[in-house]
Amino acid sequence: MGGLRVENLDVFYGMSQALFGLSLEIGSGEVVTLLGRNGMGKTTTVHAVMGIVPVRSGRVTFEGKRLEGLPSYRIARQGLGLVPEGRQTFPNLTVWENLVATAANRSTASDPWTPERIFDIFAELDARRKSMAATLSGGEQQMLAIGRALMTNPRLLILDDATEGLAPLIRGKIWRCLAELKRSGQSILVIDKNRHDLARLADRHYILEKGTVAWTGDSAELRESGSTIDRLLGV
């Protein structure tokens, strides 16, 4: 399987272990989710893949290239685009400047992303293209964070808390955007709490519990495993 392969990942914060032998795969063109209650290791998994936290043991491979131990900027250059938790747009740059600041055609696409293509899918940003990112609403900032990641033309798009805290109308726009990206063949790893929306979008799902994979299956299995899923995701 091409794409991303994570094998037996162990990650620590100081003396505290956060991931325990975690393994997952994302094939080319697949949409895969990470589900789980807060504190179960979802963001840590993303941070380990992206080189934000060090890997104690295990392997991270993307399109046949080893990633663990590389600095984050080199991992990004391999074609991984991150929409981080909390958006983290550049507050003192305009919408346009945010989009062009890190633009790169890392996937050597014949039709690479441009600001105008981003504005086509997120019309709200078009109207605010000269506005500082700090003045945007939370939903607009999330759209901008997604647009900024797409401007790197990633082979794998990673979204951490894709729609957390957003109004239903904005959530709907983001789900439609991700569905369109899937139809175009974009590989996506997404973290979110809206499992019913994720079941309509994604091919496969991983549920984490205490830093390891507790369940994995496709969307049909996610819908059919009600009591098990409720136990793993319930408060």
Specify the pLDDT at position 235. 61
Shortest CA distance to 202 belongs to which of 39, 77, 76, 31? 31
Contact (Cβ atoms closer than 8 angstroms) between residue 230 and residue 224: no
CA distance 83 to 149: 6
Q: What is the DSSP letter of 122?
A: -
CA distance 85 to 96: 21
**pLDDT over 80 (residue 106):** no
Task: Give the domains, in start order, of the chain with CATH numbers.
Answer: 1-78+157-162+190-235 (3.40.50.300), 80-154 (no CATH)
Contact (Cβ atoms closer than 8 angstroms) between residue 93 and residue 133: yes
**pLDDT over 80 (residue 31):** yes
Shortest CA distance to 105 belongs to which of 129, 135, 85, 81? 81
pTM of the model: 0.94
pLDDT tens digit sequence for 91-105: 999 999 999 998 988
Show the 3-state SS of 80-112: EEEECCCCCCCCCCEHHHHHHHCCCCCCCCCCC
Q: Report H helices in 111-193.
A: 115-121, 123-127, 138-150, 168-183
CA distance 207 to 109: 32
Query: To the nearest whole percent, how much of the chain has pLDDT over 70?
Result: 99
Average pLDDT over residues 9-14: 97
Query: To the nearest whole percent, how much of the chain has pLDDT over 90?
Result: 89
User: Residue 49 — pLDDT band, cuts 50, 70, 90?
Assistant: very high
**pLDDT over 90 (residue 228):** no
CA distance 80 to 73: 10
CA distance 34 to 82: 14
User: Tokens representing 121?
Assistant: 């899918």
Q: Which residues lie below 8 Å from residue 141, measured CB to CB, with a gap of 6+?
A: 87, 89, 133
User: Residue 226 — pLDDT band, cuts 50, 70, 90?
Assistant: confident
- The region of weakest confidence among 70-84, 97-111, 137-151, 211-225 is 97-111
Contact (Cβ atoms closer than 8 angstroms) between residue 197 and residue 168: no
CA distance 113 to 153: 6
Contact (Cβ atoms closer than 8 angstroms) between residue 146 and residue 138: no
User: Tokens representing 166?
Assistant: 């957003």
Q: How many CA atoms lie less than 13 Å away from 229 in the CB half-sphere?
A: 20
Contact (Cβ atoms closer than 8 angstroms) between residue 39 and residue 192: no
Specify the pLDDT at position 2. 57
